[in-house]
Amino acid sequence: MTAIYTEDSIRTLDWKEHIRKRPGMYIGKLGDGSSQDDGVYVLLKEVMDNSIDEFMMGFGRTIDIEMTDNYVKVRDFGRGIPLGKLMDVASKMNTGAKYDSKAFKKSVGLNGVGIKAVNALSMSFKIEAFREGERKCIDFANGEVTNDEAINKTSEKNGTLTTFVPDREIFGEYHYIEEYVVALIKNYVFLNSGLTIKLNGEKYSSDNGLRDLLDQNMSSEGLYPIIHIKGEDIEVAITHGSQYGEEYYSFVNGQHTTQGGSHLIAFREAYVKTIREFYKKDFEPSDIRASIVAAVSIKVEEPVFESQTKTKLGSKNIAPNGPSVRNFIGDFLKNELDNYLHRNSEVAEALQRKIIESEKERKAISGIKKLAKQRAKKASLHNKKLRDCRVHYNSNAERKEETMIFITEGDSASGSITKSRDVNTQAVFSLKGKPLNTFGLTKKIVYENEEFNLLQAALNIEEGIESLRYNNVIIATDADVDGMHIRLLLITFFLQFFPDLVKNGHLYILQTPLFRVRNKKETKYCYSDEEKAKAIKKLKNNIEITRFKGLGEISPNEFKHFIGKDIRLDPVRLRKEDAVKDLLAFYMGKNTPERQEFIIENLKIDAVD
């Protein structure tokens, strides 16, 4: 039958319908809150950005956030949205003060979409503006107005209060992870000295800007005191750690650009050039930047980002008729970093020692590295260890935020995932047996060990995670003792050699069901004994209970339910107080009396429970 194509086939969606039908265009991926870049955090950030812009313009030094899994409230004490325009700001696309460069010269965004996306994607959305003793309030549900109050008198201080509940039809049974919200808040205060943000009564502020950011995020002390330099519209903090790779935190107008962009490219180039000129030596860029930990923040007029979620800067210039981002950052580092190193000889000497050590290590493994690259290339042609996907995180594809790679053990598990995966965004890497315990080993092992060499090549992280091919790196092993051991060995590998993969929220554990409970009418998959008990109670008679011993026992038809839209992922998170070396030494080092005692004590606790 031929489809009828007439004038009636042409349809124009209103603003809220378009956002609800295509949420990914406005907030990236959806998710349930288990990942830092899930949509529920983007909604919070979109509301927060408006309050931050007010602070940047000199209005309101405090922002109050009240948050539960049921609702979010954000109250700022800025000027308050002009009352007569409150409806337009909350529900009319391409409307906002950010189009007036006098009012918001260097704001986070200029598209006038953010707060509208929050409104459209919330089952309940309430916005209140307080301005010069008057109050205006409008309530919405899924973008539809449910109550439009008249302007009335108020004793409230100027500002805006936004209350919203993300729509569970869109986001599912989401939950907020406080650690992710706190990380977002800390970035705001690090970048805005003098700002105080309260989360459920807990205060966050910063006196030392990006220096505080590095200090908070480094799990061990740097090799030298943090270099902290500031100029008009730019701030930089730099040190070196003991980790492998490069670790960066980049920001534009207070926005955390997790995927970098033109400003981070410029910083990396300018840093190498400045160091070479200071020491008058033609060091290799990789030796200069090895183990660097740096934060760079710039302010740009009318910034252009590569997506609505603003995670990568595309702007080439600081202002429409201003200098290039490259020259702006280059000139700043050439003057300020060079001056700092001349004034602080001890730091300059420590930095030079680190560069020379990196140079020696690079030369020691250069031959091994070349051979390993050849092996990886050959293996990719003749092996089936990697079943790649079509879309990649380091591309400009529409679904790159959804990309993931499952690291599995054995052919049966990888076979089930391979047959049930989404070939556009899901890749599979198959391990052969248990990986090596890499604790205490040097990076030579990454190239000498075939499994790790091929895994590194598959992820494309040899030169750092800027070229990471998959947004989500997922360890998918059996839920038994051997599977747990493989998880630990892989986590040890990533923490030892690629800690920024963990710090930037890319590493996860796949949760798969332990039980299947079914009768002739219904099937329930259970991830715990508690869920199994509920399923048995609900299905009642003539039930069949299956205990899955491994991933290979789950058929491809069933597996597609566990790696689709209802996928359950446990993030591997690293906190400031988690000293990586101490953690790895305790759990993955030699069998110390302390660890034996820990195991015995916890076994006793389990026995009592």
Residue 371 φ/ψ, nearest 5 degrees: -65, -40
Same domain for 478 and 392, yes or no, is yes
Mean of the per-residue pLDDT values of the chain? 83
Token representation of residue 24 = 């990914």
> In this structure, is residue 367 part of a structural domain?
no
Same domain for 77 and 187, yes or no, is yes
Average pLDDT over residues 84-94: 80
> In this structure, is residue 46 part of a structural domain?
yes
Q: Which residues pair with 292 in a beta bridge?
A: 240
pLDDT at 157: 93
Average pLDDT over residues 520-535: 88
> In this structure, is residue 486 part of a structural domain?
yes
Same domain for 223 and 276, yes or no, is yes
Least Cα distance to 74 among 169, 174, 188 occurs for 188
pLDDT at 591: 64
Q: Which of 204, 223, 257 is the last residue of a domain?
A: 204
Quick check: 381 pLDDT over 80? Answer: no
% residues pLDDT > 70 (the chain)? 86
Average pLDDT over residues 567-591: 70
Give the span between the Cα atoms of 453 and 457, in whole angstroms: 6
Cα angle value 215/216/218 (rounded, 5°): 65
pLDDT at 197: 96
**What CATH code is carried by the domain that includes residue 236?**
3.30.230.10
Same domain for 95 and 162, yes or no, is yes
First to last CA, the chain: 65
Same domain for 540 and 451, yes or no, is no
pLDDT at 603: 64
Average pLDDT over residues 29-54: 85
Quick check: 113 pLDDT over 70? Answer: no
pLDDT band (50, 70, 90) for residue 9: very low
Q: How many independent structural domains does the chain possess?
A: 4
Domain that holds residue 394: 383-512+550-578
> In this structure, is residue 442 part of a structural domain?
yes
Identity of residue 442: T
> In this structure, is residue 9 part of a structural domain?
no
Same domain for 313 and 220, yes or no, is yes
> In this structure, is residue 4 part of a structural domain?
no
Quick check: 278 pLDDT over 60? Answer: yes
Same domain for 137 and 230, yes or no, is no
Same domain for 484 and 534, yes or no, is no
Quick check: 523 pLDDT over 50? Answer: yes
pLDDT at 450: 82
Same domain for 568 and 446, yes or no, is yes
pLDDT band (50, 70, 90) for residue 111: very low
Cα angle value 122/128/131 (rounded, 5°): 155
Token representation of residue 73 = 């409230």
Same domain for 534 and 566, yes or no, is no
pLDDT at 335: 93
Least confident of 132-136, 323-327, 340-344, 586-590: 586-590
Q: Which of 204, 219, 248 is the last residue of a domain?
A: 204
pLDDT at 94: 52
Average pLDDT over residues 564-576: 79
Same domain for 129 and 245, yes or no, is no
Query: 439 and 588 in contact (C-beta within 8 Å)?
Result: yes
Average pLDDT over residues 86-99: 68
Average pLDDT over residues 324-330: 92
Query: 439 and 496 in contact (C-beta within 8 Å)?
Result: yes
Give the span between the Cα atoms of 372 and 519, in whole angstroms: 52
Least confident of 92-106, 122-136, 434-448, 468-482: 92-106
Query: 30 and 38 in contact (C-beta within 8 Å)?
Result: yes
Least Cα distance to 333 among 264, 382, 380 occurs for 264
Q: Which of 178, 204, 230 is the last residue of a domain?
A: 204
pLDDT band (50, 70, 90) for residue 105: low
For 189-247, the pLDDT digits (tens) are 999 888 999 999 999 999 999 999 998 888 678 899 999 999 988 999 999 987 777 88
Give the span between the Cα atoms of 432 and 442, in whole angstroms: 22
% residues pLDDT > 90 (the chain)? 33
pLDDT at 99: 42
Q: List helix spans (H) across 134-221.
A: 168-171, 178-191, 210-217
Give the span between the Cα atoms of 542 and 424, in whole angstroms: 40
**What CATH code is carried by the domain that includes residue 74?**
3.30.565.10
Q: List helix spans (H) across 1-69.
A: 15-21, 24-27, 39-56
Residues contacting 213, CB < 8 A, separation 6+: 186, 187, 190, 206, 237, 249, 295
> In this structure, is residue 376 part of a structural domain?
no
3-state secondary structure of 396: coil
Cα angle value 236/240/243 (rounded, 5°): 130
pLDDT band (50, 70, 90) for residue 379: low
> In this structure, is residue 231 part of a structural domain?
yes
Identity of residue 411: D
Same domain for 187 and 245, yes or no, is no
